[in-house]
């Protein structure tokens, strides 16, 4: 796990990490409180986020038990409305409570990513520049199985590193290469997997929920398409490394618990 020094944005350290946490989970009940080497998962995520150089790290949660667990370990947490439809809405509520300025950068780190690299958080925040109110991350796909898996979200970039489109389909489509074989990716073919981390300016985060829902978003079931459809750019940080997988299922939890044991994480 990487330890980073503070990074400067717009002349000062100006990014905040807000971690949304919801107690209910279909596949893994009470997921934020799952034990990882003696600490709740949500605490482990916050500890990783603190290594990114963020000015502030807070948890946005829907249940008092999560807030209590955070406070016990010195993590700031805010109780939010239980009625939010998404983690983005949840962090927007907390960002408003914090009174952050419109140009402040806020990074949405998912509460089930205890092994997230701090460097990825820092780099995603750094993509926010004048005229670019939102950013995310991606990494190269090297296997045909992933390229053709609809559960793996792909992103296509323009020459400046901004997102052209996100899709569950295999994009870009390599017409000639795939005509030969779909078992191996063609040489020099680039396809990127989207990583579910986002950064926004405070102003755009508060505007996000007011944007018109996009037909593309409903078809692909990808919220970020709402941003592109409404005409706003999304910058994409491309990391060469495949991030450690998050925790969605009981099997994922066992894998991460084993990682902590193997690496003797305190």
State whether residue 33 is helix, strand or coil.
helix
Average pLDDT score over residue span 42-67:
95
pLDDT digits (tens, 9 = 90+) for 168-221: 999 999 999 999 999 999 998 999 999 999 999 999 999 998 999 999 999 999
Q: How far apart are CA 234 and CA 221, in angstroms?
A: 18
Mean pLDDT of the chain: 91
E strand segments, the chain: 15-21, 35-36, 39-40, 56-61, 76-79, 105-108, 134-140, 154-157, 163-167, 192-201, 234-238
The pLDDT > 90 percentage for the chain reads 82
Give the residue carrying structure tokens 């603190």: 50
pLDDT surpasses 60 at 3: no
Lowest mean pLDDT segment, chosen from 26-35, 52-61, 113-122, 219-228 = 26-35
Quick one: which of 169, 186, 146, 170 has its CA closest to 220?
A: 169
265: confidence class by pLDDT, cuts 50, 70, 90: confident
pTM of the predicted structure, to 2 decimals: 0.91
CATH 1.10.540.10 describes domain 15-136+194-263: no
pLDDT digits (tens, 9 = 90+) for 38-51: 999 999 999 999 99
Average pLDDT score over residue span 238-256:
92
Average pLDDT score over residue span 132-139:
97
Instruction: Give 242's DSSP letter.
Output: P
Quick one: which of 50, 48, 42 has its CA closest to 71?
A: 42
Q: In the structure encoding, which two tokens stand for residue 115, read together? A: 């092994």
Contacts of range 182-186, beta carbons closer than 8 Å, 24 or more positions apart: 182/144, 182/148, 183/144, 184/144, 185/141, 185/142, 185/143, 185/144, 185/147
Q: Are 179 and 144 in contact (CB under 8 A)?
A: no
For position 8, what pLDDT does the model report? 40
């Amino acid at each position: 796990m990487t330890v980073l020094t503070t990074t400067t944005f717009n002349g000062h350290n100006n990014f905040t990490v807000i971690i949304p946490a919801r107690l209910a989970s279909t596949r893994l009940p009470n997921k934020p409180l799952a034990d990882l080497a003696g600490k709740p998962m949500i605490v482990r995520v916050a500890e990783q986020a603190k290594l990114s150089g963020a000015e502030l790290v807070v948890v946005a949660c829907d249940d008092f038990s999560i807030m209590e667990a955070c406070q016990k370990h010195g993590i700031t947490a805010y109780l939010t409305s239980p009625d939010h439809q998404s983690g983005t809405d949840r962090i927007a509520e907390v960002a408003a409570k914090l009174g952050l300025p419109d140009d402040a950068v806020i990074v949405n780190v998912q509460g089930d990513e205890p092994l997230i690299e701090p460097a990825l958080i820092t780099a995603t925040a750094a993509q926010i520049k004048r005229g670019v109110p939102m950013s995310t991350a991606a990494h190269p796909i090297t296997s045909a199985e992933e390229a053709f898996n609809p559960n793996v979200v792909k992103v296509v970039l323009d020459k400046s590193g901004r997102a052209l489109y996100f899709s569950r389909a295999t994009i870009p489509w390599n017409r000639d290469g795939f005509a030969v074989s779909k078992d191996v990716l063609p040489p020099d073919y680039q396809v990127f997997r989207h990583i579910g981390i986002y950064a926004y300016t405070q102003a755009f985060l508060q505007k996000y929920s007011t944007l018109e829902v996009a037909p593309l978003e409903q078809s692909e079931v990808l919220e970020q398409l709402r941003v592109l459809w409404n005409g706003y750019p999304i910058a994409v940080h491309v990391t060469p490394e495949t991030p450690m997988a998050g925790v969605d299922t009981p099997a994922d939890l066992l894998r991460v618990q084993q990682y902590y044991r193997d690496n003797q994480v305190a």
